[in-house]
Structure 1
């Protein structure tokens, strides 16, 4: 048996359902699980997801409440990733391969294609943000973008279940995520992602996937804009590999024509096939009630905002606001755009 899972708060469950549906379609013998970084809400029918949904508070993370109190919602959702990997492997001892996908990913071809990548003894699968150099033409993104946020995109990672390498990586990664999963690139930190720069050095049997059909996304369109729509809503990439999954990072259902407002190299007008891909995804999110569900606030954010100010020292308040100010200044000076990265 193989496992695929995602992690999100209630407000991303519409996207998670699109992912679930695509895995049901293309993932033979794959168990899908949602890790909920939230408390269940009366506004959502969880039975409609027809998959296992596990509240993160129930997986045995030590000092769990400290995570949502010290991290923002993106940091919080990413800080539990290694812990949830370990939880699922412990609960499913016969797992052969286990995959994490961000909730805003859609599977578009058979997941068995990914299984084959574990041949030749690989234990850990990673996808780089980019596979080729980016022209220095004044458009964004640029190569140094990924030096700030990580060489690999952790919207996806695949592990061979119960391999020694996987266990070692998860133990190492978990320790860092539970203590240092901050969005502070000016300090060399970017949530769960930038740590993985070390993985090919620290661990054996790490395989970097070089096919364009894995984790195509707005940041690597300089090499993948030539994708071609084929029959049955499938796509062929410029390297003749199938588009196995696309990462709709920064997708805004209210403005579906915009790829990502701080990436300006391409728009949907540059590719009819890409436009079709986004139009189909937009329709699926609407059908899964993204308009309503995206407005449901994370319970832990509500609790955090309700904490009495007297419980916070003057130093903590000053430090929090100072870090936010540093981020705004850093991105404005270096990249001339407002700070709100989400890679």
Structure 2
């Protein structure tokens, strides 16, 4: 497995982290072709200032249907994860590609990932679990195992996919699920793109679970990975060279809190964090802060998270405002719609515009069956009443539209 492409997905505010990641990849895997999926909508001249030794892509380059109104439905974290499978699919289609590795921007590679490369020779999809050993204390179960049940068994800071049939089938499936259901909605069983991976080992062949202690070390599992210093200043995990460390939660303070909770505020892990922070400080000099491209309407109004959810969940709003970024009446309409959406309701997400019109043929066929059979008419009335009570009139309209069909 020699022709490997690696990419990360990040908004402009994470460029310092991307630089640290790519610098580490250049040391340990210079043969991998590096790609940055920059989740912005920057003009070409602004992209030139990124100055990374990597190919740069933006969402507009990925053939995502109706990508601008679709992007409006997502927060920054949601959008940065929702675009990942589309980038994966595009890279897998290249003639010079045998496999694709994805790494989160807040990861740093510390040694050659030879076991990942070897596993790609025999597997179509590689995943790493959050926990690879049972917790031994009640506090550990509550802090880590229960969190994995809520947020997903596998951590999508890493995934590797080959061009095998199962790999391509997985990429297509992931694109379909991410297009409609890439949400941070833990109460309804969704956590961006991550919870979907729980289904992958049961749905696809050729899945490899990388349980090695030196891969995807992070705050939630470092206490089980036996981090030590080896010869020449190399960090070891369970006696093997540390492959990559995931510095998630560093900005929010969650990483430091997890270290304290695990009783490991000092030692090798703390040294890794300190060294990473110093590398970030140096990297930040190259990238002054810029506002997120998808954080404001065209007139400069900051987009509220409730407006995004309302637009995502309401097919009528999507029809009324095909370009939400430039619609002067959008704010009031979204605020009114948001008041009628139940937090327990999971909508089918953004519908491609061709699917949003009411399907008159579908409605007519239901009416014809009802006329021929009175009991069917009563059943139709009761069903419509239940839908209106649970989802409102907009929900009934959505279910009569083409987007109500099982079309991905």
TM over 0.5: yes
Match of 2:265?
A: 269
TM-score, scaled to structure 1: 0.84
In structure 2, distance between residues paired with 1:44 and 1:288: 17
After superposition, residues 214-293 of structure 1 pair within 5 angstroms as 214-224=215-225, 226-238=226-238, 240-252=239-251, 259-261=255-257, 264-266=260-262, 269-270=265-266, 272-289=267-284, 293=288
Indicate conservation of the 8 Å contact 2:5/2:101, yes or no: yes
| Cα displacement string for residues 168-187 of structure 1 (whole angstroms, at most 9, x for unaligned residues) | 11111110101000111111
| Cα displacement string for residues 252-275 of structure 1 (whole angstroms, at most 9, x for unaligned residues) | 29x6xx7243675336534x2112
How much does 1:318 deviate?
5.5
Indicate conservation of the 8 Å contact 2:259/2:265, yes or no: no
How much does 1:43 deviate?
7.4
The counterpart of 1:63, out of the listed 52, 62, 66, is 66
SS in 2 for 1:159: strand
Indicate conservation of the 8 Å contact 1:269/1:275, yes or no: yes
In structure 2, distance between residues paired with 1:129 and 1:79: 20
How much does 1:280 deviate?
1.2
Using a 3 Å threshold, how does the CA distance of structure 1 residues 267 and 281 change in structure 2: closer, same or farther? farther
How much does 1:118 deviate?
2.4
In structure 2, distance between residues paired with 1:113 and 1:66: 41
Q: Are 2:313 and 1:296 aligned?
A: no
Using a 3 Å threshold, how does the CA distance of structure 1 residues 47 and 78 change in structure 2: closer, same or farther? closer
How much does 1:319 deviate?
3.7
More RCO (CA 8 Å, sep 6+): 1
After superposition, residues 12-161 of structure 1 pair within 5 angstroms as 12-40=14-42, 46-90=49-93, 92-119=94-121, 121-138=122-139, 141-160=143-162
In structure 2, distance between residues paired with 1:49 and 1:164: 32
How much does 1:142 deviate?
3.0
In structure 1, distance between residues paired with 2:285 and 2:50: 17
Match of 1:316?
A: 338
Indicate conservation of the 8 Å contact 1:7/1:35, yes or no: yes
In structure 2, distance between residues paired with 1:153 and 1:290: 30
SS in 1 for 2:139: coil
Paired residue total: 312
How much does 1:301 deviate?
1.2
Question: Rg: which structure is higher?
Answer: 2
In structure 2, distance between residues paired with 1:155 and 1:290: 25
How much does 1:93 deviate?
1.5
Match of 1:340?
A: none
Indicate conservation of the 8 Å contact 1:101/1:157, yes or no: yes
Indicate conservation of the 8 Å contact 1:141/1:264, yes or no: no
Indicate conservation of the 8 Å contact 1:68/1:301, yes or no: no
In structure 2, distance between residues paired with 1:49 and 1:232: 29
In structure 1, distance between residues paired with 2:17 and 2:264: 20
SS in 1 for 2:135: coil
In structure 1, distance between residues paired with 2:46 and 2:230: 38
Match of 1:192?
A: 193
TM-score, scaled to structure 2: 0.71
| Cα displacement string for residues 276-308 of structure 1 (whole angstroms, at most 9, x for unaligned residues) | 211111111111117964x42211012373554
| Cα displacement string for residues 157-213 of structure 1 (whole angstroms, at most 9, x for unaligned residues) | 0011x2100111111111010100011111111110010101110000100011011
In structure 2, distance between residues paired with 1:66 and 1:97: 31
Using a 3 Å threshold, how does the CA distance of structure 1 residues 314 and 83 change in structure 2: closer, same or farther? same
Indicate conservation of the 8 Å contact 1:28/1:111, yes or no: no
Indicate conservation of the 8 Å contact 2:102/2:157, yes or no: yes
Match of 2:379?
A: none
Q: Can you give the 5+ residue segments of structure 2 that lack an aligned partner in the other structure?
A: 304-324, 345-408
Match of 2:351?
A: none
In structure 1, distance between residues paired with 2:287 and 2:264: 26
How much does 1:310 deviate?
2.8
